[in-house]
């Protein structure tokens, strides 16, 4: 961290999910599977899916409105918007620009999207931290939103059982009381194994150059390799994150991990020796909502009384890239 850095306050967090619920039993209408198979391997019972006018942009707007409301910061005072959206309905205009327009956030502030798949929120938080620490920007809106249900091959029963749609948002600002809500933050990637989860945009070369060939345009995932990689890297990574922050496991109140697969979360939990009460999961009801899953798990658990604010939590994500990252944060009263 640079000296004289301005500390960051997490001011508000919100989420939004589509109204349509698809259960494991519903998926048996598409292919040969069962609630028992899916639940026992992933911990998922149901997920939400966009329909009609819902998409990653509309979900992101709803989540952003809630985070702004909780933060007490007015839309017109936002200085920058950063959106983690791995496969939005349109690549441009950026989701950030569309959110800016809809929420009447002043023109001529910067708004942009980044791609870090399910680690997206941790990446945006890291970028925001740099801008706030340097004094360049004060109030930053972060949005993490994905509508994976529109990107899946609905005949691929191995990948399509996992994902759901949703959005999360966080408003961060320069801390006025000198307390930094980011105790520690770290982001990583390993591009050499990027092929294990991919989403290719459809597109055709110019017919003058070569004959057109259709390219598949849906999520492809080698589930076993993803599982192996994350189960190998993540538990040790989170343990080191705590140690490098000079903290002990008893200093941490909650672990709020990306909700990709309950068995991966349990591997991290086992390594850290955390109780069930300390580990936040809601994958059972929402599946894997990519970048949205961490803020969704945080806010929903607060609403359900499972997470108490005025506490300290590890947020950790991993996803396509492969990317991964973690933050140890203070969760102040009133943020959601």
Query: What are the residues binding ligand ACO (CB under 6 A)?
Result: 33, 37-38, 41-42, 117-118, 157-158, 161-162, 197, 221, 223-224, 226-227, 260-261, 264, 288, 290, 319-320
State how far the Cα of 321 lies from the Cα of 176, in Å rounded to an integer.
Answer: 36
Shortest spacing between CB 269 and ligand ACO, in angstroms? 15
Nearer to ligand ACO (CB atom), residue 100 or residue 288: 288
| Of residues 39 and 274, the one with the C-beta less far from ligand ACO | 39
Q: Which is nearer to ligand ACO, 68 or 117 (CB)?
A: 117
Min. distance of Cβ 319 from ligand ACO in angstroms?
A: 4
C-beta of 241 vs 260, nearer to ligand ACO:
260
Q: Is 222 a catalytic residue?
A: no
Q: Is 288 noted as a catalytic residue in this protein?
A: yes
Q: How far is the CB of 223 from ligand ACO (least distance, A)?
A: 3
3-state secondary structure string across the chain? CCCCCCCEEEEEEEEECCCEEEEHHHHCCCCCCCHHHHHHHHCCCEEEECCCCCCHHHHHHHHHHHHHHHHCCCHHHCCEEEEECCCCCCCCCCHHHHHHHHCCCCCCCCEEEECCHHHHHHHHHHHHHHHHHHCCCCCEEEEEEEEHHHCCCCCCCCCCCCECEEEEEEEEEECCCCCCCEEEEEEEECHHHHHHEEECCCCCCCCCCCCCCCCCCCEEECHHHHHHHHHHHHHHHHHHHHHHCCCCHHHCCEEEECCCCHHHHHHHHHHHCCCHHHECCCHHHHCECHHHHHHHHHHHHHHCCCCCCCEEEEEEEEECCCEEEEEEEEECCCCC
Minimum CB separation of residue 261 from ligand ACO in Å reads 4
Distance of closest approach, residue 228 Cβ to ligand ACO, in angstroms? 9
Pick the closer one to ligand ACO by CB: 35 or 253. Answer: 35
Q: Are 43 and 281 in contact (CB under 8 A)?
A: yes
Residue nearest to ligand ACO (CB): 223
Catalytic one among 139, 147, 148, 258? 258
The active-site residue, picked from 139, 282, 288, 336, is: 288
* Residue number, 296 or 335, with CB nearest to ligand ACO: 296
CB of 263 to ligand ACO, least distance (A): 7
Residue 118 among the catalytic residues: yes
Instruction: Please give the positions annotated as active site.
Output: 118, 258, 288
């Amino acid at each position: 961290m640079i000296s004289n850095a301005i500390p960051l306050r997490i001011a508000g967090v919100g989420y939004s999910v589509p109204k349509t619920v698809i259960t494991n039993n519903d998926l048996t209408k598409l292919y040969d599977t069962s609630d028992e198979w899916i639940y026992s391997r992933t911990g998922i019972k149901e997920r939400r899916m966009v329909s009609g006018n819902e998409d990653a942009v509309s979900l992101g707007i709803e989540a952003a409105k809630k985070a702004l409301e909780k933060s007490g910061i007015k839309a017109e005072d936002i200085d920058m918007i950063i959106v983690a959206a791995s496969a939005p309905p349109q690549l441009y205009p950026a989701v950030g620009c569309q959110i800016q327009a809809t929420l009447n956030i002043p023109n001529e502030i910067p708004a942009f999207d980044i791609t870090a798949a399910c680690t997206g929120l941790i990446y945006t938080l890291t970028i925001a931290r740099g801008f706030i620490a340097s004094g360049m920007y004060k109030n930053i809106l972060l949005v993490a939103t994905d509508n994976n249900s529109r990107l899946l091959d609905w005949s691929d029963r191995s990948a399509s059982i996992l994902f759901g749609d949703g959005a999360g948002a966080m408003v961060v600002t320069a801390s006025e009381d000198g307390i930094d809500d980011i105790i520690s933050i770290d982001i990583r990637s390993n591009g050499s194994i990027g092929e294990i989860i991919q989403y290719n945009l459809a597109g055709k070369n110019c017919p003058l150059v070569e004959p057109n060939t259709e390219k598949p345009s849906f999520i492809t995932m080698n589930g076993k390799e993803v599982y192996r990689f994350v189960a190998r890297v993540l538990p040790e990574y989170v343990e080191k994150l705590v140690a490098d922050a000079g903290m002990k496991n008893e200093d941490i109140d909650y672990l709020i991990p990306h909700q990709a697969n309950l068995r991966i979360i349990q591997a991290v939990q086992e390594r850290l020796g955390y109780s069930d009460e300390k580990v936040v999961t809601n994958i059972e009801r929402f599946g894997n909502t990519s970048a949205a899953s961490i803020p969704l798990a945080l806010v929903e658990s607060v609403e359900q009384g499972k997470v108490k604010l005025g506490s300290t939590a590890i947020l950790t994500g991993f996803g396509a890239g492969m990317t991964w990252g973690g933050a140890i944060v203070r969760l102040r009263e009133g943020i959601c």
